[in-house]
């Protein structure tokens, strides 16, 4: 284990408990805001079905997503449990903060630093997020095809779904294109010309992200 990994592991020794406490604090705050009585009434009404309703779909999706993420990082042989913890922590930030479902992505890469260089970790979450959005596009396309069997194409719902599909195709295509063009390193160089660029160390990290993304 190199010096970089040892320092990252030492920081993770105290940062992970802090993140756990922060997560528990958020849960406690949400419970207080909603009201313990309302939470208990919902649990009592659903009974054992609550576990099936909440845990099974989410657990299955989390496991499959983690396996897919692990394929991107197979060269580093990151343990599955580490990947799963990092994903759950990142998704918790995405769901509990107003960051448009991307605020937790850097956290995922940060938590993998004992095993994966930060640049590659960040690149992997970008690719992972891209595949998630592409999967949503395919799901919308499947829904549109299924809807066409029961609704006329002039139906407002079909028109709306078609418009959303077109917007998502443009968005996903643009997202992939800027990754191929080296958006991260290029952004750093543009900021550098404006006198607000990153330091040489961070610019090297951005360039490393672009090189990693170019392989996908």
Res 29: pLDDT: 83
pLDDT in tens, 141-174: 898 888 888 888 888 888 888 898 898 888 888 8
Domain residue limits at 121: 3-180
104 part of a folded domain: yes
Q: What pTM does this model have?
A: 0.63
Considering the domain boundaries, does residue 15 fall inside one? Answer: yes
Residue 166 lies in a domain: yes
pLDDT in tens, 195-204: 555 556 666 6
Residues 202, 211 contacting (CB under 8 angstroms): no
pLDDT at 211: 67
Query: Is 7 part of a structural domain of the chain?
Result: yes
The ranges of the chain with pLDDT < 50 are: 4
Q: What is the pLDDT of residue 187?
A: 64
Structurally, the chain folds into a number of domains equal to 1
pLDDT of residue 28: 83
Question: In the 3-class helix/strand/coil scheme, how is 68-95 assigned residue by residue?
Answer: HHHHHCHHHCCCHHHHHHHHHHHHHHHH
Compute the distance between CA of residue 27 and CA of residue 161 in angstroms, rounded to an integer: 35
CB of 124 closer than 8 Å to CB of 116: yes
Residue 109 falls inside a structural domain: yes
141 falls within a domain: yes
In a domain, 140, yes or no: yes
Q: What is the predicted pLDDT for the residue at 27?
A: 78
> Within a domain: residue 197?
no
For residue 97, what is the DSSP state? S
């Amino acid at each position: 284990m190199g010096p970089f990994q040892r320092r990252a592991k030492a920081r993770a020794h105290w940062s992970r408990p802090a993140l756990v406490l922060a997560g528990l604090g958020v849960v406690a705050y949400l419970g207080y805001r909603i009201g313990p009585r309302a939470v208990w009434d919902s649990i009592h009404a659903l009974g054992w079905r609550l576990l099936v309703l909440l845990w099974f779909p989410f657990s299955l999706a989390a496991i499959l997503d983690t396996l897919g993420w692990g394929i991107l990082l197979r060269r580093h042989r990151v343990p599955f449990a580490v990947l799963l913890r990092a994903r759950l922590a990142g998704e918790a930030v995405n769901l509990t903060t107003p960051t448009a479902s991307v605020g937790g992505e850097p956290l995922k890469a940060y938590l993998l630093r004992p095993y994966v260089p930060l640049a590659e970790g960040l690149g992997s979450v970008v690719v992972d997020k891209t595949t998630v959005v592409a999967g949503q596009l395919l799901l919308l396309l499947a829904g549109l095809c299924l809807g066409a069997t029961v609704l006329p194409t002039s139906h407002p719902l079909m028109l709306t779904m078609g418009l959303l599909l077109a917007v998502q195709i443009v968005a996903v295509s643009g997202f992939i294109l800027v990754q191929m063009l080296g958006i991260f390193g290029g952004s750093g160089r543009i900021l550098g010309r404006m006198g607000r660029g990153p330091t040489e160390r961070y610019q090297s990290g951005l360039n490393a992200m672009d090189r990693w993304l170019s392989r996908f």
